[in-house]
Amino acid sequence: MPKINRYIDISEVDREAKKDLIDRHSPFVHCEDNAKVGEPFEVTVKMGREYTHPDDFDHYIESVALYDGDKLLAKATYVPGTLGNIKAHNTTTFTIVPQGKKLNLVAHGYCTKHGIWEGTTRQVAVS
């Protein structure tokens, strides 16, 4: 099983280089607080809040995956240069159709140089 790096609040980190590493590799889930059963629901995953990530041949975000708890809902893969070979926030929007009473959304981002990173869980009520 590969190691999964988990997000920690960078306001509690002293070293700027460590803040940069943690933030730019962490996927953050953005969506509405409520969804309706059986209706399309958009979820955007953005890599990093403050720091951008490289898009180089040997160092880029290769994939972004969206989970409901442990259940994989969607995954997008990228090739180097997708973001124009510049530092940027890789942003991926997924459309899912909720079925249960709630969603516990969490995202993983895979960096070709620094491995798998997991963001914080976002709970969504489903009615």
Based on the structure, what is the number of domains in the chain? 1
What CATH number is given to the structural domain containing 37?
2.60.40.730
Which residues does 120 contact at the CB level (< 8 Å), separation at least 6? 7, 28, 29, 106
Is this prediction's pTM over 0.75? yes
pLDDT tens per residue across all 127 residues of the chain? 679 999 988 888 888 888 999 999 999 999 999 999 999 999 999 999 999 999 999 999 999 999 999 999 999 999 999 888 999 999 999 999 999 899 999 999 999 999 999 999 999 999 9
Domain of 121? 4-126
From 109, 74, 110, select the one nearest 94 (Cα to Cα): 74
pLDDT computed for residue 83 by the predictor: 85
Between CA 115 and CA 34 the distance in angstroms is: 32
